Amino acid sequence: MASLSEEVLLVVKKVRQRKQDGTLYLMAERIAWGPEGKDRFTVSHLYADIRCQKISPDGKAKIQLQLVLHTGESTTFHFSNESSALKDRDAAKELLQQLLPKFKKKANKELEEKNRMLQEDPVLFQLYKDLVVSQVINADEFWANRLGDINSTESALHNNKQEVGISGAFLADIRPQTDGCNGLRYNLTADIIESIFRTYPAVKQKYSENVPHNLTEKEFWTRFFQSHYFHRDRINTGTQDIFSECAKQDEKGLKSMVVQGVKNPLVDLMSLEDKTLDEGYGASTTPPSTSNRSVKESSNAAIIKRFNHHSAMVLAAGSRKGETPTDQASETSSTDGNSRDSDFFQPPVKKVKLQEAIEYEDLQRENRPKTVALNLKKSDRYAHGPVPLQSQHYTTSQDIINSVNYIQHEMVNYKPNLTQVLSSTAASSAIAALSPGGVLMLAGGQQAINQMVPTEVQGELKHLYAAAGELLRHFWSCFPVNTPFLEEKVIKMKSNLERFQMTKLCPFQEKIQRQYLSTNLTGHLEEMLQTAYSKFHVWQTRRMMRKT
């Protein structure tokens, strides 16, 4: 029986599994089922192992829930309580729906990572096949050592990965379709939801606040599309609308962006005018006050505001990751052109922009590195899309020019030095000495292994070496053995090594003997194993002595 500390989230009675009545338990980390009248679980799955759940269609007589595992196995539960079967099933389904994604992410990430590593590294993959698939060691052991690497490489990988931006028109992609009976249907994909969340963090916050405690996911999105927030041109705001707060938050965000001002002084309209006319002077009339604007006009203004905000948010979502908080802090302080310390930040931006603005590049003599102009013979091809390039390493055109020049220079200056060559007798004796069987080649009489052994045997030997190396690495990494865990491990590793010798090495030896090849091919491998064994024996006898 599972430990008592496990939290049970849901208990459903009268659930049949394999025609046996029982009780279904949903716990914090796993789902379990036990037959009636017994106090142990015959079925128990960690949530992380579950790939998905399936339910029987509504109309069906049997109300079932199927769990599909990552391994491909599946377990089916049949809810047999007549009065509340449907309700029970839905409760279980809802709960699973919330629980699974949490574990899924973690599991998926690990799986993906492992999968990726195996794909990227053929040696590792072979090792995996040799050791895990042939069940010399189990997968966990195999990964136990690797995962440390994963975590360290992971961060580096994430830094390199480029964030994918958001389409500006993602809201336009959610075209409502009429479903034929006075309703609208919105199709949401995970991508769109992700886009919405990234663009409007306020909605994401609402989502995490309300789903699943107050609303189901479906209800949430229904309300989202009904809300004034989505249809910003509708002015009448219901106060009970959960999104009215989002709108306010957005408004605030927009305001703070506006207050923050702009970094580039050349586009700052506020400080453009040097000396504005005092109030009351000037030919133009004062702008109409906002109070007497009609509803239509203010709704138009709202649309315009919304577009600006939307575009800004989309833009920000694309570049949000790169910015570090300190960066932002310095930016904000540098934007406020009036505060005193900001003056120390401001000039550089301003200077650069001013210099850019007064630059006439064509009036100056060029002193940039010379580049080769693109000479198009067929401009059609240029106009019709790019061709993928395979090579990753580019040399700049300057490099190419340099090297061409260099080679040209070399060739021009090349003169064969005919007086200082070897005499023909000396040359032929040198060739004879260097040919196989010659004076200088005696040391190399032993033929290289690649000439003696057929390639498939070579390959096999390579794999054996890799596998043995891996196992030995595990083995040696246990020393010095100073914890009970390591003791256990070292013993296990020893048996792994023996098993390896039995299942892999010996058949190989027999094979090469059958092919009458020199048996000392595996000599070194055996030597290594023997060293490990003797080390193990030394350690074991010492341990015995200490115990006695």
Partner 1 sequence: MKLNIDGLLVYFPYDYIYPEQYSYMLELKRTLDAKGHGVLEMPSGTGKTISLLSLIVAYQRAFPLEVTKLIYCSRTVPEIEKVVEELRKLMEFYSKQTGESNNFLALALSSRKNLCIHPEVSSLRFGKEVDGKCHSLTASYVRAQRHSDPNLPACRFYEEFDAVGRQVPLPAGIYNLDDLKDFGRRKGWCPYYLARYSILHANIVVYSYHYLLDPKIADLVSKELAKKSVVVFDEAHNIDNVCIDSMSVNITRRTLDRCQNNVDTLQNTIHKIKETDAAKLKEEYRRMVEGLKEASVARETDIYLSNPVLPDEILQEAIPGTIRTAEHFVGFLRRFMEYLKSRLRVQHVVQESTPQFLKDIFDKVCIDRKPLRFCAERLQSLLRTLEIADIADFSAVTLISNFATLVSTYSQGFTIIIEPFEDRTPTIANPVLHFSCMDPSIAIKPVFQRFQSVVITSGTLSPLDIYPRILDFRPVTMASFTMTLARTCLCPLIVGRGNDQVALSSKFETREDFAVIRNYGNLLLEMSAIVPDGIVAFFTSYVYMENIVASWYEQGILENIQRNKLIFIETPDAAETSMALEKYQEACENGRGAILLSVARGKVSEGIDFVHHFGRAVIMFGVPYVYTQSRILKARLEYLRDHFQIRENDFLTFDAMRHAAQCVGRAIRGKTDYGLMIFADKRYARADKRGKLPRWIQEHINDGSLNLTVDEAVQLSKHFLRQMAQPFRQEDQLGLSLLTLEQLESEEMLQKISQIAHQT
Q: Which amino acid is at 92?
A: A
Closer CB to partner 1, residue 39 or residue 274?
A: 274
Return all residues near 320 (Cβ < 8 A) that are at least 6 apart: 198
520 binds partner 1 (CB under 8 A): no
Q: State both tokens at 55.
A: 């339910």
259 binds partner 1 (CB under 8 A): yes
450 binds partner 1 (CB under 8 A): no
Q: State both tokens at 26.
A: 């949903």
Task: Give least dist CB 460 to partner 1, A.
Answer: 52
Closer CB to partner 1, residue 144 or residue 272?
A: 272
Which has the closest alpha carbon to 77: 31, 28, 29? 31
Choose one: 84-92, 301-309, 323-331, 429-437; the region binding partner 1 (CB under 8 A): 301-309
Instruction: Pick one of 81, 108, 168, 211: the residue that binds partner 1 (CB under 8 A).
Output: 168
Choose one: 57-65, 109-117, 160-168, 493-501; the region binding partner 1 (CB under 8 A): 160-168
Choose one: 84-92, 102-110, 293-301, 527-535; the region binding partner 1 (CB under 8 A): 293-301
Instruction: Pick one of 164, 270, 412, 418: the residue that binds partner 1 (CB under 8 A).
Output: 270
Task: Give least dist CB 363 to partner 1, A.
Answer: 4
Which has the closest alpha carbon to 71: 41, 48, 94? 48
Strand 43-46 versus strand 50-55 pairing type: unpaired
Instruction: Pick one of 181, 360, 388, 443: the residue that binds partner 1 (CB under 8 A).
Output: 360
Residues 99/47, Cβ–Cβ less than 8 Å:
yes
Q: How far apart (Å, rounded) are the C-alpha atoms in residues 19 and 532?
A: 53
Choose one: 217-225, 255-263, 390-398, 472-480; the region binding partner 1 (CB under 8 A): 255-263
Tell me which residue has tokens 């905000």: 309
Torsion, Cα 232 235 238 244, to 10 degrees, reads 40
144 binds partner 1 (CB under 8 A): no
Instruction: Pick one of 71, 151, 240, 284: the residue that binds partner 1 (CB under 8 A).
Output: 284
Q: State both tokens at 296.
A: 């239509």
- DSSP class per residue in 123-175: HHHHHHIIIIITTSS-HHHHHHHHHHHHHHHHHHHHHHSPPP---TTHHHHS-
343 binds partner 1 (CB under 8 A): yes
383 binds partner 1 (CB under 8 A): yes
287 binds partner 1 (CB under 8 A): yes
Task: Give least dist CB 100 to partner 1, A.
Answer: 34
Instruction: Pick one of 265, 332, 333, 491: the residue that binds partner 1 (CB under 8 A).
Output: 265
Instruction: Pick one of 285, 423, 424, 455: the residue that binds partner 1 (CB under 8 A).
Output: 285
Which has the closest alpha carbon to 232: 245, 247, 249, 251? 247
261 binds partner 1 (CB under 8 A): yes
319 binds partner 1 (CB under 8 A): yes
Secondary structure of residue 69 in the 3-state scheme? strand
Task: Give least dist CB 84 to partner 1, A.
Answer: 47
Return all residues near 376 (Cβ < 8 A) that are at least 6 apart: 382
Closer CB to partner 1, residue 297 or residue 527?
A: 297
**How many residues sit in the footprint of partner 1 (CB under 8 A)?**
78
Write the burial class of residue 185 (CB in 10 Å: 0-12 exposed, 13-18 middle, 19+ buried).
exposed
Secondary structure of residue 372 in the 3-state scheme? coil
Q: What is the DSSP letter of 121?
A: -
Q: Where are the alpha helices (DSSP H) in 121-138?
A: 122-128
CA distances 265 to 270, 336, 357, 418, Å, are 9, 11, 12, 71
133 binds partner 1 (CB under 8 A): no
Phi/psi region, residue 52 (left: phi>0; alpha: psi -120 to 50; beta: rest), is: beta
Secondary structure of residue 239 in the 3-state scheme? coil
Closer CB to partner 1, residue 285 or residue 446?
A: 285
Window 198-237: residues binding partner 1 (CB under 8 A)? 233
Q: For the chain, state the CA radius of gyration.
A: 37
Q: Residues 46-65 vs partner 1: string with x where CB under 8 A?
A: --------------------
Closer CB to partner 1, residue 306 or residue 499?
A: 306
Instruction: Pick one of 167, 177, 214, 540: the residue that binds partner 1 (CB under 8 A).
Output: 167
272 binds partner 1 (CB under 8 A): yes
Chain centroid to CA 295: 48
297 binds partner 1 (CB under 8 A): yes
Return all residues near 503 (Cβ < 8 A) that are at least 6 apart: 134, 136
Instruction: Pick one of 119, 138, 216, 300: the residue that binds partner 1 (CB under 8 A).
Output: 300
Choose one: 22-30, 181-189, 199-207, 375-383; the region binding partner 1 (CB under 8 A): 375-383
Instruction: Pick one of 8, 111, 258, 440: the residue that binds partner 1 (CB under 8 A).
Output: 258
